[in-house]
Structure 1
Amino acid sequence: MTRKKILKLCIVAALLDFLIGCGKTTEVTTKHVGILKDPQTLSLQDVASSQLAPLSLGEANYLLLASETRGLVLIGEDGSEIAALDGGSVERFALQARGGGHWLVAAYDEDSGKIQLRGLEPDAQGRPRFQFLGDMAVDAPQAALCFSRQKDRIHLFAIDESGLGREYLLLPRASSWGFSEVRPLYFGEQVSSCAVDNARGKLLVAQPPLGIWRLNADAERDEAREVFVAPDRQGADFGGLWVDAAAGHLWVAAESGVWAYDLRRPLSEPLFSRSLDGVAPVSVAVAGGKLLALEEESNAVLRFAVPLPEPVAEIQAFRGAVSMPHVAARAQTAPVASGGDAADDPAIWVNPRNTEESRILGTDKKRGLNVYDLNGKLLQALPVGRVNNVDLRPLDHARFAALAAASNRTTPGVSLFGITADGEVESLGLREMDLADPYGLCLSRKDGGLFVWMSDKQGDLHLAEIRLGENPLQWQLLPRARQPLAGLVEGCVADDERGQLFYAEEDRGIWRLDIDAFVAGEGQPQLVARVDGDKLVDDIEGMALYLNGDSSYLVVSSQGNNSYALFSRDGSEFVGRFRVDINPELGIDGVSETDGLEVTSAALGADYPQGVLVVQDGRNRLPSAAQNFKLISWTEIADALALQ
């Protein structure tokens, strides 16, 4: 082992010490409760297997084995061979039930350097057979493979020998299944196995001698990586993870023996701990009430009759996946140029002459303002500084069809933009405001006047008037009023027709303000919808109004649970909520961590006959890229929520 690799392992081990308890040493404690002896042996012929997994087809039970000489081998309960590929070299595979008594197998074949997908199902005579479904060449040998079922989709996690992992969405096709990369995952060297706890939506990864990691399997959630089993449990050489979903157990094969843990409880005491007399297992499972074990490159399955741990008392479904309606995006914009948390807030300009030529304005809060068409193509990038939020209003003007304003944090103030009838956006400069850190922004209109509301991240909500002169570059910004804020506010939207302003206090709820009364010094904001951990989960971010007569709604980003809440137009009544999920056919990922959003009820062509909702995507996946904006047809939202 090189000095560099040793140093890397020492650093990670030190971090693990910190994660599982400051000052705690990582002495190896592999004490077992008993030794298992005298197993029943199922002898195999020319298999050289290092992984097994039980499965059922029809009323019969089988064992699937990886084979370094014959690819994959299926045997019966008595050890008789049922089916085999008789070609290829496989050490690792993943197995997933597909329903209807069929199974899906992913295996890394060392001879071809490919991950191969196969179906396992009965033939016309009821005998199990392998069916080739597709494959994908990979750059490095794969150390771990495991499936994840997410809603009605199957995902595959593949981690190579360098520790670089990738999540793939599998796309069933008549000719050949496809692999669409969702995101990369980084672990470092010496990963030996992975498994997925679908009940809780967790990916488990064994990385000896560092321990077993647990993290969220859903790419639209925070990774939330944690130590599930500390490195002082199994010793320095372990792997062979297998999930007993029915019992709620994680089984671990180690050089020192076999362990089982409660899948609900990280860093808990093992439910089962046995050494195997003279055996160093690399793969274990439970079938028919017995413990099954394999040694490395073995030609024998060992079956132990031993009391097994009872199923956990309570097997809870993954609470993060609260059932709610889902919709999918029809389009997405090109990623912003800046990395990290950069895309923030969109605005929609409806082209009155040709609505299909409308524009989306989106902020890159590290660089400037972007302009996109309805297909998401980047048309303009205006490098005006760190603009955070943007809003616009139509304008009756000789040169411009609309004005857009954005909060600018490079030089604290408001950046103004003119939008021509052809959809070209021109920068009209910046006017400074006496704010420590400009944050949220929205516009309102009253009697032909244009007003801007802007929050200070370290202060209040400010109202100013924008006055456009004969020369558009010589506009004025005139302070008018100030509303004290108790908490942080970014999202806001004005209902010009009713003279109301809505703003979101991120950890408290939605406030409504009568604008005329406020300007007259008489109005006070009302809290119309509270953060309750259910309908609204903090942070509360973007807000917009879908205006269409009696079918008008306030749309709010409930960032804490990656959803969008609809309220009545006045904000007083909750109507429903939804999430934006993957669109596999178009290769567009779901949406999470949304900051800003905008919506219009204008018909924008065949894809958006009832309007469009545009939302910022905090995690741009499929594949991973810089943040962007997603476009969702309002028709799909109305159908999902059964709106009138």
Structure 2
Amino acid sequence: MAKQSLIKFLSVALLSGLLAACIDSIGSAQGTNIALKPQGSLNLSGVASSQLAPVGFGDEEYLLLASETKGLVLVSTESAELASLGHGSAERFALHRQPDGGWLIISADESQAALQVFSLALESGGQPKFKLLASQSSPVPIAALCSAAQGSATQLFAIDENGLGHEYRIYAAEGRWGIAEVRSLHFGEQVSSCAIDERREQLLVAQPPLGIWQMNASAERDESRRVFLAGEKLQGEFAGLWLDAKRDLAWLAAGDTLSAHSLEESGKQVFSAALDDLEPVSVVIASGKLAFLEEEAEQIFVADAGALPMATVAKKEEAVTTYSISARAETTPVGSGGDAADDPAIWINPTDAAKSLILGTDKKSGLNIYNLDGELLQSFAVGRVNNVDLRPVNHPHYQAIAAASNRTTPGVSLFGISVKGEVESLGLQTMDLKDPYGLCLYQQGADLFAWLSDKEGGLHLVEIQLAEARGQWQLRRRADLPVESQVEGCVADDERRMLFFGEEDKGVWRLDIAAFLAGEGRPELIAPADGERLVADVEGLDLYLQGDDSFLVVSSQGDNSYALFSRDGSEFVGRFRVVENLDLGVDGSSETDGLAVTSKALGPDYPAGLLVVQDGRNRMPAEAQNFKLISWADIGASLQL
């Protein structure tokens, strides 16, 4: 049945007075109530449906229904049943179009106590057909389902009748479909429906009688839950929440009232109509017509939607392209809960690069040591160490020295690493600082220094003086650099004698160390937090050093991304986010504090080097914070470095 047939079938016009009333109401600020009567219906014999949605294939348009007797049902514009599962009890579904023109449908089937994933596509003869792709147990009945495309995967929210919500990813890998849980969410009982505003990455959840909640749909951002539409502004048991991307509106059925609310203007009502003797639970727009269902309906009611409000939807464009790159591995979560993992460093094994180590701080406990598979090898409970860095040294007992700022006893904790990768704690030296915070090492020949920030003050240069005897060392203060606000991330370019540090709210500064020590150099702001390339807070910094292909890597914590600059920081190169790797079950990263990078080849997974970043929200499943491992070869390929 062609799209024109649907228009013909649903084209019974409203009375001219009613149309005029619609037009008048749309022009008002709050959409004055009008009386809206259905002008036609489609019979649904034996379907018993409480949800419908338009589904199109080219010029063909159909209606998909959740059926309590036949699972999923696809009907034509003449109410002819074109396809159905023929069994099951689907209470609700979520769907979106696939790149190949077909549809992905997720159904909550109470008879199977499961979430079921189907494709809906046209066979070679043009007949639509459902195909089961995956299934997952769901013992508690589902009250709301909504989905959206997310890269090559599908983002799904399922909220059960107890008010517990789950975010999933549905994806295909090696010819099979999988369902991976990302996180759980708590809403409370009586949720009736949900929808995803893809343009703004927002999740809307209807929860009578409280109202409509709005929150960030991305698992890598704070929930930021807030009221989109208060319950006292609505009537009855509101349901049927549906987002109209074309008009940029949220439609809602509340009792016998149908209303539309601006997504751009935070729920402002732009249209309202009283439905004559009807209380729909599902409402959509198909071919310019309103179609709606009552609870367990055997017919679809239709009405003219020619005078419905329109909104101009401006295409959202990023000022700077942000690429998506998946991690190859992740570390064991830190032992402390809350905001605990903070800063990593990478030790390169000089005899076997595949046996290199990752050092990572648990800022509530101490320092952890991991292998390149992310397995925890050692933990040093030395106190609240915040940032860590290391350098190779010429020493009779150690191949490298790692230093960490310690906030339990204000000072610096030192660690020795043998040529075999054996790590030992060398104790702590105190400093006259209120709260040691950021730290990075700086090396000139045999001389080893640490730049250390005070959370309430500036940067301080101290020399680490190592004795030949095992575990013997001391600190000597060399210089102080005043800074106006908080500094944490920093990195020194030893060869060029340059220091880069991040003033969290302002951006990245560069300091000529030699000139500064001679009393002439002053910091220069080279990469401001402009809200596009860098979004405050500016956190971790490190240098990828590979001849002419060298880069400064900066964590842009404010929008969960990473920015690359030229080695001297003067030229912006590109930016990226670390996203989930569904094949490996590794989630993305967000709210990154520290990071570390090396250009050394570390085996087949990291042939061009390794980037390690802290992850502030560890998902899939939800666990304590950890660190993600990203192949530099993947970064180079995406950004065409």
- Structure 1 and Structure 2 fold alike (TM over 0.5): yes
2:438 is matched with 440
1:82 is matched with 82
Distance in 2, Cα, partners of 1:505 & 1:596? 14
Instruction: State the 1:322 CA deviation.
Output: 5.8
Instruction: State the 1:49 CA deviation.
Output: 0.9
**Worse-superposed segment, 449-458 or 327-336:** 327-336
2:285 is matched with 286
1:434-468 CA-partner distances (Å, limit 9, x unpaired) = 11111100111123111111100011211111112
1:117 is matched with 117
Note if contact 1:392-1:404 (Cα within 8 Å) is conserved in structure 2.
yes
1:386 is matched with 384
Instruction: State the 1:299 CA deviation.
Output: 0.7
2:233 is matched with 233
1:167 is matched with 167
1:73-92 CA-partner distances (Å, limit 9, x unpaired) = 11111212222222111111
Structure 2 residue identity aligned to 1:480: R
Choose the corresponding residue for 1:423, options 421, 424, 427. Answer: 421
Structure 2 residue identity aligned to 1:449: D
1:10 is matched with none
1:311-369 CA-partner distances (Å, limit 9, x unpaired) = 202343376x9632222211111111112111110001001011110000000111110
Distance 1:308 1:194, change over 3 A: farther
TM-score (norm 1): 0.92
Choose the corresponding residue for 1:551, options 549, 561, 567. Answer: 549
Determine helix, strand or coil for the equivalent of 1:356: helix
Distance in 2, Cα, partners of 1:158 & 1:585? 22
1:517 is matched with 515
Distance 1:352 1:38, change over 3 A: closer
Distance in 2, Cα, partners of 1:415 & 1:240? 59
Structure 2 residue identity aligned to 1:190: Q
Q: Does 1:137 align with 2:134?
A: no
Choose the corresponding residue for 1:365, options 363, 381, 396. Answer: 363
Residues 237-316 of structure 1: pairs in structure 2 closer than 5 A: 237-268=237-268, 270-316=269-315
Distance in 2, Cα, partners of 1:165 & 1:323? 32
Residues 449-598 of structure 1: pairs in structure 2 closer than 5 A: 449-598=447-596
**Worse-superposed segment, 570-579 or 384-393:** 570-579
1:261-290 CA-partner distances (Å, limit 9, x unpaired) = 12212131x222112111111111111222
1:209 is matched with 209
Distance in 1, Cα, partners of 2:503 & 2:485? 6
1:336 is matched with 334
Determine helix, strand or coil for the equivalent of 1:473: coil
Structure 2 residue identity aligned to 1:34: I
Distance in 1, Cα, partners of 2:633 & 2:60? 47
Note if contact 1:603-1:611 (Cα within 8 Å) is conserved in structure 2.
yes
Distance in 1, Cα, partners of 2:57 & 2:570? 54
Distance in 2, Cα, partners of 1:542 & 1:173? 33
1:486-515 CA-partner distances (Å, limit 9, x unpaired) = 111001111111222111111112222222
**Worse-superposed segment, 511-520 or 117-126:** 511-520
Distance in 2, Cα, partners of 1:551 & 1:89? 59
Note if contact 2:271-2:309 (Cα within 8 Å) is conserved in structure 1.
no
Instruction: State the 1:582 CA deviation.
Output: 2.1
1:36 is matched with 36
Structure 1 residue identity aligned to 2:292: A
Distance in 2, Cα, partners of 1:480 & 1:259? 68
Note if contact 2:384-2:407 (Cα within 8 Å) is conserved in structure 1.
yes
Structure 1 residue identity aligned to 2:300: V
**Worse-superposed segment, 364-373 or 604-613:** 604-613
1:192 is matched with 192
1:527-570 CA-partner distances (Å, limit 9, x unpaired) = 22222221122111111111122222211112122222222222
Extract unaligned runs of 5+ from structure 1: 1-29
Note if contact 1:617-1:628 (Cα within 8 Å) is conserved in structure 2.
yes
Distance in 1, Cα, partners of 2:64 & 2:368? 53
Note if contact 1:155-1:167 (Cα within 8 Å) is conserved in structure 2.
yes
Determine helix, strand or coil for the equivalent of 1:253: strand
Instruction: State the 1:32 CA deviation.
Output: 6.1
**Worse-superposed segment, 346-355 or 554-563:** 554-563
Note if contact 1:332-1:629 (Cα within 8 Å) is conserved in structure 2.
yes
Distance in 2, Cα, partners of 1:46 & 1:433? 79
Instruction: State the 1:134 CA deviation.
Output: 1.2
1:387-408 CA-partner distances (Å, limit 9, x unpaired) = 1000011122222111100001
Note if contact 2:322-2:574 (Cα within 8 Å) is conserved in structure 1.
no
1:170-209 CA-partner distances (Å, limit 9, x unpaired) = 1225765210011112211111001112222221110111
Distance in 2, Cα, partners of 1:609 & 1:175? 28
Distance in 1, Cα, partners of 2:331 & 2:488? 23
Distance in 1, Cα, partners of 2:104 & 2:357? 44
Structure 1 residue identity aligned to 2:299: A
Name the Cα RMSD after superposition: 1.8
Structure 2 residue identity aligned to 1:461: L
Determine helix, strand or coil for the equivalent of 1:478: strand
1:202-247 CA-partner distances (Å, limit 9, x unpaired) = 2111011111112222212232222111212222410111122222
Distance in 2, Cα, partners of 1:85 & 1:599? 52
Note if contact 1:271-1:309 (Cα within 8 Å) is conserved in structure 2.
no
Distance in 1, Cα, partners of 2:367 & 2:173? 40
The number of aligned residues is 612
2:11 is matched with none
**Worse-superposed segment, 400-409 or 505-514:** 505-514
Q: Does 1:107 align with 2:107?
A: yes
Determine helix, strand or coil for the equivalent of 1:267: coil
Determine helix, strand or coil for the equivalent of 1:583: coil
1:16 is matched with none
2:10 is matched with none
Determine helix, strand or coil for the equivalent of 2:233: coil
Distance in 2, Cα, partners of 1:210 & 1:177? 37
Extract unaligned runs of 5+ from structure 2: 1-29
Determine helix, strand or coil for the equivalent of 1:534: coil
Structure 2 residue identity aligned to 1:250: A
Residues 176-187 of structure 1: pairs in structure 2 closer than 5 A: 176-187=176-187
Determine helix, strand or coil for the equivalent of 2:50: coil
1:26 is matched with none
Note if contact 2:538-2:554 (Cα within 8 Å) is conserved in structure 1.
yes
Distance in 2, Cα, partners of 1:359 & 1:100? 44
Note if contact 2:260-2:272 (Cα within 8 Å) is conserved in structure 1.
yes
Report percent identity of matched pairs: 57
Structure 2 residue identity aligned to 1:450: L
Distance in 2, Cα, partners of 1:376 & 1:482? 37
Distance in 2, Cα, partners of 1:536 & 1:344? 19
Distance 1:59 1:31, change over 3 A: closer
